[in-house]
Amino acid sequence: MSELAIDVRGLNKSFGAKHVVKDFSLQVRRGEIYGFLGPNGSGKTTSIRMICGLLKPDSGEGTCLGHDIRDSAAIKREVGYMTQRFSLWEDLTIRENLEFIARMYGMPDRKSAVTQALKGLNLQHRQDQLAGTLSGGWKQRLALAACILHRPQLLLLDEPTAGVDPQARRDFWEEIHALAANGISVLVSTHYMDEAERCHRLAYIAYGKLLATGTPDEVLHAVSLSTWEVSGPPARLADLARELREKDGVAHVTAFGNTLHVTGEDQDRLQRAIEPFRHDAALKWTEARPGLEDVFIHLMKGQGEK
C-alpha cells in the first residue's frame, strides 16, 4: 500500500474559455490533515472533485487511495465527501438520514454502523430529532457522521465549518484530529487561518495555480516578510492605511480589528517607509511576526486571472 492517499500531477480543467485549474499537483500522506486554502473562485472545489473522481480532468494524471482518479466508482467506496452546503434530508431524523445513507452504500451491518456513528459523534441523544431543526453545529456533526459511516480511508471536506460558531468549529477539529490519529487522511478546504494552523500541511491555490505548499511553518518562512503592527484611533488608522499604501517599501496594509498590519519584503525599506509616522503620539507601533494571513495576502499580490 502506497504511503500517499492522494498523488496527482499536472491536472487541468477548463469550463468553456475559463481555465479553472492549471497544472495542479498534490501529494497527501495517509493519516495526514492537509489544509487547502485560497480565495473564492480559486479552483479549490474543482480540484477536490477531480481528485475524488467526480469530475474528469482535461489533462493530467494521478491516484486517489491507489485508484486512478478517473475510476470514480472505486474511489467513491473509500472516500467521504462533505460539501459546503448541508445536503442531507431535513424532513428525516438524524437516525433515518444515516440509515438511508447506509442503505445507499449497501452496508450489511448498517444498524450497528449507524449506532456506532451516533455514539462516536455524540448524536445518540438527538437521533430522533428532524435534521431540519438542528443548529449549524449539529448539522455539521451529522454531515460528518454521514461521511464516515462507510468507514472511508479519505475525507474530502469542502469548507465544512462555514457558518458555524467558534465552539462548534473547535469541536469539529477535535473530531478531525481523532480520525487522522486512526489513519484516516483528510483534505479540508477552509478560509480560517486558525484552522489552517491546525493542519499538518497546507496548499494555497489562487486563480487555479498552486502558489505555496508545506507545513504551516514552512509556508510562513517561504516568503521573506517584515511586519509591523500599529494601533490607534479608527479614523487615524483609516487615514494611515491610505497613506502607507502609497509608500515605497510597503507591500500591503491589512486591517485586523483595531490594528493594522504593515508588511514589506525588505526590512530596511519598510523601516524607512514607516519612520515618519512613528513619531505620531496617537499611534502605537510594535514589531510583529508575519502570520499565515500576511503570507497569503502577499502571495495574492500580483496574481490575477490570465
Domain holding 242, by residue range, is 226-289
> In this structure, are 212 and 238 located in the same domain?
no
> In this structure, are 68 and 203 located in the same domain?
yes
pLDDT at 303: 60
Query: Total domain count for the chain?
Result: 2
Q: How many CB atoms lie within 10 A of CB 306?
A: 8
pTM, whole model, 2 decimals?
A: 0.82
Which pLDDT tens digit goes with each residue over 215-237? Answer: 998 988 877 889 999 999 999 99
Whether 73 and 25 have beta carbons less than 8 Å apart is answered as no
- Distance, in Å, from the CA atom of 296 to the CA atom of 293, rounded to the nearest integer, reads 5
Q: Name the domain boundary from 220, 251, 268.
A: 220
> In this structure, are 27 and 153 located in the same domain?
yes
Using only the alpha carbons of the chain, give its radius of gyration: 22
pLDDT at 64: 93
> In this structure, are 107 and 246 located in the same domain?
no
In this predicted structure, the answer to whether residue 306 has a pLDDT above a threshold of 70 is no
> In this structure, are 112 and 127 located in the same domain?
yes
Helix (H) or strand (E) segment spanning residue 294: helix 292-300
> In this structure, are 134 and 38 located in the same domain?
yes
Which pLDDT tens digit goes with each residue over 146-160? Answer: 998 988 999 998 888
Which 3 state secondary structure label does DSSP give 42? coil
Would 116 be classed as within a structural domain?
Answer: yes
Q: What are phi and psi of 275, to 5 degrees?
A: -55, -45
Would 274 be classed as within a structural domain?
Answer: yes
pLDDT at 283: 94
Which pLDDT tens digit goes with each residue over 265-290? Answer: 889 999 999 999 999 999 999 998 88
Which pLDDT tens digit goes with each residue over 55-108? Answer: 999 999 999 999 999 998 889 889 988 877 777 899 999 999 999 999 988 888
- Distance, in Å, from the CA atom of 207 to the CA atom of 42, rounded to the nearest integer, reads 5
Would 192 be classed as within a structural domain?
Answer: yes
CATH number where 105 lies? 3.40.50.300
CATH number where 263 lies? 3.30.70.330
Which amino acid is residue 301, in one-letter code?
K
Which pLDDT tens digit goes with each residue over 165-203? Answer: 788 888 889 989 999 998 999 999 888 888 888 999 999
Would 301 be classed as within a structural domain?
Answer: no
Instruction: Give the β-pairing of 185-189 and 154-158.
Output: parallel
> In this structure, are 215 and 231 located in the same domain?
no
